[in-house]
Amino acid sequence: MVATTHNHQRTASPGMGARIQASPLHPTPLIQIPHCILGSQGAILEVHTQDNLTTVVLQEPGYPTPPPMPPMMPPTIPSDVLSSGDGFAARGSGWDSVSVRHAFIRKVYLVLASQLMVTTAIVSVFTFVEPVGKYVRDNPALYWVSYAVYFITHIVLVCCTGPRRKHPWNLILLLLFTLALSYMTGTIASFYDTKVVFLAMAITAVVCICVTVFCFQTKVDFTKCQGLFCVLGIVVFVTGLISAIVLSFKYVLWLHMLYAALGTIVFTLFLAYHTQLLIGNRKYSISEDEYVFAALSLYVDIIQIFIFLLQIIGAARK
């Protein structure tokens, strides 16, 4: 490690670390910084040479270093796995008329589009406005507060039929849920390069469009496989829980990528399943009173796909 001459002095420089200045008595100083000066967290930030004066800017011990990896989204269990009994929104496929179903589909996609616009705006601000991104990265407590809001509102909207169907409380709860999940998504995205975020958004959009077109055209009925989707939801939740525990002690790339790949596949299948519940003409469909549940389910699927793709692409570009 290169640094100062025979006579060197250490001076403090606010906000930049310690400076080691070489004596100008020697024309070509050969410099070596002892490890004790660097400290356990020390690192060379800058080296300047002018008029036989060499200045080395060191990082002071204890100076905060960038986080080693972005935070993972805490394990999320799909909405249908949480729902059970009389509160479950998926019922037989009977509808009063085609016009009622079309109106219901338009209403759900309007709510979903509003949610995605809010999320896109927050992710964009956290990604492009560096002071905002730095603030959310430096304050993880806000991330966990938003997770608490997300968890509580998710449980209430999925498990409680009354609040989910009663206007305007259902929309208020859905707004809180959307803001909380958007904040979490924006915080995670702020750890990644802008190109990675753009690429993950683009791939997510392509996946969603392809899945939606497929569900409208195919004769395959995913709604018949409720038991399978329940098992898949539990598997991805348990895998995420194990991954979160292991990665909190030591980062294991293959485990992180395995969980991200599994999550991407499972939530893509859930997107197809929830889309068929929405459009009807299958064994099961969502009641026309459950537009909040339908929008919430699709929204969670899309956001989870985006976050998992973000982790995969981000790791691949390192």
Three-state secondary-structure class, residue 126: helix
Task: Looking at mean pLDDT, say which of 46-50, 84-88, 142-146, 288-292 comes out highest.
Answer: 142-146
pLDDT of residue 100: 82
Percent of the chain with pLDDT over 90: 42
pLDDT band at 224 (very low <50, low <70, confident <90, very high): confident
Three-state secondary-structure class, residue 1: coil
Kindly report, residue by residue over 255-273, the tens digit of the pLDDT: 889 999 999 999 999 999 9
Smallest CA-to-CA distance from 4 within 32, 26, 28, 25 is with: 32
Where in the chain are the domains? 8-58, 79-316
Compute CA distances 297 → 12, 173, 177, 263, whole Å: 55, 14, 12, 15
**Tokens linked to 148:** 């608490």
